[in-house]
Amino acid sequence: MKDFCSYLEFTDEIIEDIDTTVEKLGPCKIPSSLKLEPQCFVKDEARITLRVNYNYLKEQFTQNKETPSLELAGPRPYIYFDPSKTKVGIVTCGGLCPGINDVIRSIVMTLYYSYGVNKIIGFKYGLQGFIPKYKHEIVELTPDIVKDIHTMGGTFLGTSRGHQSIEEIVDTLERMNIQILFMIGGDGTFRAAYKIKEEITKRNLKIAVVAIPKTIDNDIWLVSKTFGFDTAVELACYAIRCAHTEAIAVPNGIGLVKLMGRYSGFIAAAATLATKEINFCLIPEMDFDIYGEKGLLAELEKRLQKRKHAVIVVAEGAGQKYVQKDLPEYDASGNIKLGDIGKFLKEEIEKYFKEKNINVVIRYIDPSYIIRSVPANVEDRIYCGFLGQYAVHAAMAGKTGIMVSYLNDQYVHVPIKEAIKRRKQINLHSRFWLSVLESTGQSSLKND
């Protein structure tokens, strides 16, 4: 899936005016214990140039400024932390996603076998694990304990949503003498990670905070592809094929599949390209009409007249103008609770064709919680392994306040403060979305 998961292929986005400076706790003076050839080590001067707008590049050249670039990830010849005295914490936050356990395993194995760090603990149930009042136990993490967790879905450490006291979290890190904290999560986790790093800096503590991007929606900015996405698309395709089979089995059969994607429709769009059986792909980035002569219902009727069946895929965040409450409700993480667009579409389709006295059979499938709970597939497992390894290399070298990212075919260090500035979404004028439209043959679904 690498070809169409390229960051630029998804977004056609111009990256400019970002601060790519990576913070360090101090100079690295300890020779690395890694038994590598000299050319395998990476120096901090090694950087990857970002794609920028031509006019911006011309301006940079005229003003004798450097083109934006990111620090290349990888093992450093000298490290900041003494492995024999280093204590590490790992926490997983937010929703479930295939591959979390693979990342945990990779971090533990790399710390233990590559660097000789043997004091590794896991905080249970997300950020609650740092707060004394919850009384969650901590878990000692060793190779024997984590060696098989990659075969399981979910997260070995558990998770939770909701805000917790940043001061209490840092109190716990200080009290337990933890030097490195790995945080596996998405946008909300990253915002917490940045605040934790800021509080650590304010207290003049030498604690590294390194984040690994996790979101099944693939919507983190400055990341080509988040882990678990490939697995999600693969499982989504299975659900879509089932919906297609059901649709073609009866006259005027309609397969309707709702997939995850609150603000970004990457899973729905990628599954559309992968299956070739979808006639309508609805994502949060696009505005579409349900009613009217050019709306979804009218176009669906034309499709049934022509082919006697249809398959619709809708991301959970699509069409919220039809289902969002006037006074929105919020979940524990502060996200607006979405209206159920899948159920709404099913009811509106039934109503529309009943009024026209046309018999239709709708098969509605929502595999969301099945998809996010399964173990990672082969490609995601490999990817998670690399993310964990590069995160450890960065942390041992004293990097802090960073996200380990895979961007334009390279593993790089991205400051967390930049990663949380925006959300990655599909550019409706990109080559990627054009390919989706060519695959489905759908119109704009707009009356104007």
Q: What is the 3-state secondary structure (H, E, C) of 34-66?
A: CCCCHHHCCCCCCEEECCCCHHHHHHHHHCCCC
φ and ψ at residue 447, rounded to 5 degrees = -80, -25
Q: Where in the chain is the domain with CATH 3.40.50.460?
A: 229-373+429-440
Which positions ≥6 away from 94 have C-beta within 8 Å? 126, 159, 161, 185, 186, 188, 189, 214, 215, 333
The H or E element spanning position 181 is strand 180-185
Q: What is the pLDDT of residues 265-301, one digit of tens each?
A: 999 999 999 999 999 999 999 999 999 999 999 999 9
Task: Supply 171's token pair.
Answer: 């109190």
Q: Which fold has domain 19-227+376-419?
A: Rossmann fold (3.40.50)
Evaluate whether the domain defined by 229-373+429-440 bears CATH number 3.40.50.460. yes
pLDDT of residue 55: 52
Length of the chain: 448
* Closest by CA position to 282, among listed 448, 447, 436: 436
| pTM of the predicted model over 0.85 | yes
pLDDT of residue 325: 77
Q: Quick one: average pLDDT of 31-52?
A: 88
Strands (E), 5-133: 23-24, 30-31, 47-49, 69-72, 78-79, 87-92, 119-123
Q: Quick one: average pLDDT of 379-406?
A: 97
Which positions ≥6 away from 36 have C-beta within 8 Å? 75
* Closest by CA position to 73, among listed 111, 41, 117: 41
3-state secondary structure at position 240? helix
φ and ψ at residue 423, rounded to 5 degrees = -115, 135
Assign 99 a pLDDT band (cuts: 50, 70, 90): very high
Write down the catalytic residue from 3, 12, 187, 217.
217
Which positions ≥6 away from 79 have C-beta within 8 Å? 28, 30, 31, 32, 115, 396, 397, 398
pLDDT of residue 59: 54
Q: Where in the chain is the domain with CATH 3.40.50.450?
A: 19-227+376-419
pLDDT of residue 64: 56
Which positions ≥6 away from 44 have C-beta within 8 Å? 22, 71, 76
Active site residue 144: no
Give me the chain's average pLDDT, please.
92
**Tokens 């299975």 label which residue?**
238
pLDDT of residue 57: 46
Report the DSSP beta bridge partners of residue 364: 256
